[in-house]
Amino acid sequence: MPYDVIVIGLGGMGSAAAYHLAARGQRVLGLEKFTPAHDKGSSHGGSRIIRQSYFEDPAYVPLLLRAYELWDRLATESAREVYRMTGGLFIGPPDCLTVAGSLLASRQWDLPHEVFDADEIRARYPAFTPRDGDIALFEAKAGFARPEMTVQAHLDLAQRAGATLRFGEEVTAWAETGGGVSVTTADGTYTAGQLVICPGAWAPQLLAEFGIPITVERQVLYWLDPVGGVGPFVDHPIFIAENERAEQIYGFPAIDGPAGGVKVAFFRKGVVCTPDTIDREVHEQEIGEMRDEVARLLPALDGPCVHSATCMYSNTPDQHFVIARHPDSANVTVACGFSGHGFKFVPVVGEILADLATTGATDHPIDLFDPRRLVNA
Ligand SMILES: Cc1cc2nc3c(=O)[nH]c(=O)nc-3n(C[C@H](O)[C@H](O)[C@H](O)COP(=O)(O)OP(=O)(O)OC[C@H]3O[C@@H](n4cnc5c(N)ncnc54)[C@H](O)[C@@H]3O)c2cc1C
């Protein structure tokens, strides 16, 4: 067989898997239906929050600690600024998920953090106008990753380590054969010992028989032009703020130049779609909703929307990932359902997928991501 492992989907997770596998000396074929680091899936839009005080569940923290080591290694090996530490501010009422959950994870894992009341937030970060009862957890080790740059860095390093990567080639079918796998595209059929499937929002198509309930959601990113210019937002922490309706908005420093605006978005306020039906146009009404939210929390940012983009989440019912050997196919490993919070884990997911494809197991704690919790539910 010419290849040890075929990777389907070279987005965030698949590009990292291709790199980790090739770096271990595996003969890798990567297949991607679009171009390198494209904007039609889930890994584009210029920035992704990275943080360790994980309000979703403290069980993610050990993976984040390893991911940070690998982010550092990726930056060095690729000589690119794939991530930047800016500090992160997680704001809301003391008992909300954003604040209480971040505090729980920080305490449980002894992560350095500070807590500010509303007056301290206003004094330290004058752009914010929190409500009087709001508090914030500040984490110095939060920041952002650059998704397109990260995907390209993993692709380049994978190729440098000997991987064959084919773009514009859609996989139409895959199957187990005796002792291996075969993968069919419009250009031909390839065989290998192992298969790693990282389909993003195409999981319902590529893994239909798997039976994992994944809901794809359209999400919108907005770049707003601050009233007095981007100046105050250049050296600024990333933030996630929760309002009284338990909605979260998040934002980044101004990293796209003086006319590039400041990126903000709602976390998890999406409309169900498929990759074929997603509405890629961003409408005035939704821009208005975002500006209303920003006007309350960050009035200086409430200016015209200079750019917008859509992106897809692939949500599991419990919003935890799926990373596992395929329960019915011994030579197949899957990674999907990243539920809108997967990017900060990209390097460690690559490492886990390389472990699973080469040895069938991993030392990383991935019990939370076992698909049987969803299939048998
Ligand atoms: C708006 C938005 C904001 C986000 N913000 C954050 C954040 O701040 N922090 C964070 O940690 N995470 C964030 N996420 C989530 C994170 O970006 C995703 O979890 C992650 O990018 C998913 O990577 P993936 O590899 O699963 O999907 P993708 O990167 O989309 O990769 C899947 C790939 O498979 C390819 N493919 C599919 N079908 C086929 C086929 N048949 N043949 C060949 N190729 C195929 C696709 O073309 C695609 O390239 C955000 C996501 C969005 C959309």
Q: What is the pLDDT of residue 238?
A: 98
Ligand 1 centroid–CA 87 distance in Å is 24
Q: 370 is written with which tokens?
A: 């076992």
How many C-beta neighbours within 10 Å does residue 27 have?
17
Ligand 1 centroid–CA 12 distance in Å is 6
Q: 41 is written with which tokens?
A: 């899936």
The DSSP element (H or E) to which 233 belongs, if any, is helix 231-234
CB neighbour class for 79 (10 Å; exposed up to 12, middle 13-18, buried from 19): exposed
Whole-number average pLDDT of the chain: 96
Confidence of residue 376 (pLDDT cuts 50, 70, 90): low
Ligand 1 centroid–CA 219 distance in Å is 12
Q: How confident is the model over 347-369, as pLDDT tens digits? A: 999 999 999 999 999 999 999 99
Given a cut of 70, is residue 129 above it in pLDDT? yes
Q: 172 is written with which tokens?
A: 């139409």
pTM greater than 0.95 (yes/no): yes
Q: What is the pLDDT of residue 274?
A: 97
Position in ligand 1 atom list of the atom nearest CA 14: 25
Q: What is the mean pLDDT of residues 310-335?
A: 96
Q: How confident is the model over 25-41, as pLDDT tens digits? A: 999 999 999 999 999 99
Pocket flag, ligand 1, residue 346 (CB < 6 Å): no
Given a cut of 70, is residue 335 above it in pLDDT? yes
Residue type, 351: E
Confidence of residue 73 (pLDDT cuts 50, 70, 90): very high
Beta-bridged to residue 221, according to DSSP, are 265, 309
Mutating to test ligand 1, I would choose from 341, 349, 352 the residue with most ligand atoms within 8 A of its C-beta, which is: 341
Confidence of residue 268 (pLDDT cuts 50, 70, 90): confident
Mutating to test ligand 1, I would choose from 8, 31, 42 the residue with most ligand atoms within 8 A of its C-beta, which is: 42
Q: What is the pLDDT of residue 377?
A: 58
- Helix, strand, coil percentages, rounded to 5, for the chain: 30, 30, 40
Residue type, 342: G
Q: How confident is the model over 107-127, as pLDDT tens digits? A: 999 999 999 999 999 999 999
Confidence of residue 210 (pLDDT cuts 50, 70, 90): confident
CB neighbour class for 164 (10 Å; exposed up to 12, middle 13-18, buried from 19): middle
Pocket flag, ligand 1, residue 338 (CB < 6 Å): yes
Ligand 1 centroid–CA 197 distance in Å is 13
Q: What is the pLDDT of residue 227?
A: 93
Pocket flag, ligand 1, residue 42 (CB < 6 Å): yes
Q: What is the pLDDT of residue 123?
A: 97
Confidence of residue 106 (pLDDT cuts 50, 70, 90): very high
Given a cut of 90, is residue 300 above it in pLDDT? yes
Q: What is the mean pLDDT of residues 278-301?
A: 96
Which of 13, 45, 91 has its CA nearest to residue 265?
Answer: 45
Quick check: 49 and 109 in contact, CB under 8 A? no
Kindly write down the DSSP assignment for every residue of 20-82, as one continuous string.
HHHHTT--EEEE-SS-TT-SSSSS-SS-EEE-SS-TT-GGGHHHHHHHHHHHHHHHHHHTS--
Distance CA 220, CA 268 (A): 10
Q: Are strands 114-117 and 88-92 parallel, antiparallel or unpaired?
A: unpaired
Pocket flag, ligand 1, residue 64 (CB < 6 Å): no
